[in-house]
Amino acid sequence: MKLNVRLQSEQSAADAAPVVLIHGLFGSLDNLGVLARGLKDRRRVVQIDVRNHGLSPRSEEMNYPAMAQDVVETLDDLGIDRFTVVGHSMGGKIAMALTALVPGRVEQLVVIDIAPIAYQERHHDRFFAAMKAVSAAGITTRSEATTLMRQRIEDEGVIQFLLKSFHEGEWRFNVPVLWDTYDEIIGWETLPPWPHPALFIRGERSFYLDDQYRDALLAQFPQARAHVIGGAGHWVHAEKPEAVLRVISRFLGL
């Protein structure tokens, strides 16, 4: 599957591995735009819409081997061999899956606020309920959608995040498929150890990269290092963009 991409600074740092940015669930390539803007002067940057999101193709299949294969096929089409990958949440799991699929092509790995484990709780069910309600009501404007979604979601920031992918009455992610495959999205199959540099960035207030997952993380990424961003939650790159960019830049040697 060839994914929708946005390329930044194609001609800069030609001798360095491009940085591939992969967004999380319910997102699009715009979600990591702050990182792209911060890195584009020093590296070629590739922003990606994953399958069933943004302007990329849709599919009934939604699992990490398939999503990682999408990234590989897209990079092949762009003529990119070796690369550094940065992924947030679900995108972080796709990034980790790439180390098993093409271990020799990934130079460095940055994972933002997700662990290589299967989560047990369904934290997004109210998001699905809100989006399904908007679709069922035939709503076409963001203002009307906001009013209806507030009945199910208390966090205004989450509502506005979701509505970034609402255009003319349609969601730009495949809500039915994401609902049907949600257990695979929060699930995980343990990877073989990848003995290369890896950085895991955690939001201090987030539970996704909790200390209890340390052993599982190190078993799969024995060269991993961690950095906690104080005062941030799960969307750490949006809440503390300058701090995240500093940490990533230092890790990449920029």
Instruction: Tell me the pLDDT tens digit for each residue of 173-194.
Output: 999 999 999 999 999 999 999 9
Query: Considering only CA atoms, which of 174, 172, 166 is closest in space to residue 143?
Result: 166
Take residue 35 and report the two structure tokens written for it: 């990182």
Q: Which residues are catalytic?
A: 89, 234
Q: Cα–Cα distance between 42 and 80 in angstroms, integer?
A: 17
Q: For residue 12, name the pLDDT band (cuts at 50, 70, 90).
A: low
Determine the topology of domain 5-119+187-252 in CATH: Rossmann fold (3.40.50)
Beta strands 170-171 and 166-167: pairing type? Answer: antiparallel
pLDDT tens-digit profile of 196-239? 999 999 999 999 999 999 999 999 999 999 999 999 999 999 99
Supply the pTM of this predicted model: 0.95
Phi then psi for residue 17, to 5 deg, are -65, 135
Take residue 191 and report the two structure tokens written for it: 């990877």
Take residue 194 and report the two structure tokens written for it: 């990848």
Neighbours of 60 (CB within 10 A): 10
Q: Where in the chain is the domain with CATH 3.40.50.1820?
A: 5-119+187-252
Cα dihedral 82→34→165→99 (10° resolution): 30
CB 6 within 8 A of CB 215: no
Q: Cα–Cα distance between 40 and 93 in angstroms, integer?
A: 23
132-168 burial, b at 16+ Cβ within 10 Å, e below that, comes to eebeeeebeebeebbebbeebbeeeebbebbbebbee
Taking CA 116 as the corner, what is the angle to CA 115 and CA 117, rounded to the nearest 5 degrees?
A: 95
- What pLDDT score does 16 carry? 83
CB 91 within 8 A of CB 85: no
188: amino acid identity, one letter: W
The pLDDT of residue 8 is above 90: no
- What pLDDT score does 182 carry? 97
pLDDT tens-digit profile of 16-35? 899 999 999 999 999 999 99
Average pLDDT, the chain: 94
129: amino acid identity, one letter: A
Helix ranges (H only) for the chain are: 33-39, 64-77, 90-101, 125-136, 142-149, 156-163, 175-180, 182-186, 214-220, 236-239, 241-252
Neighbours of 9 (CB within 10 A): 16
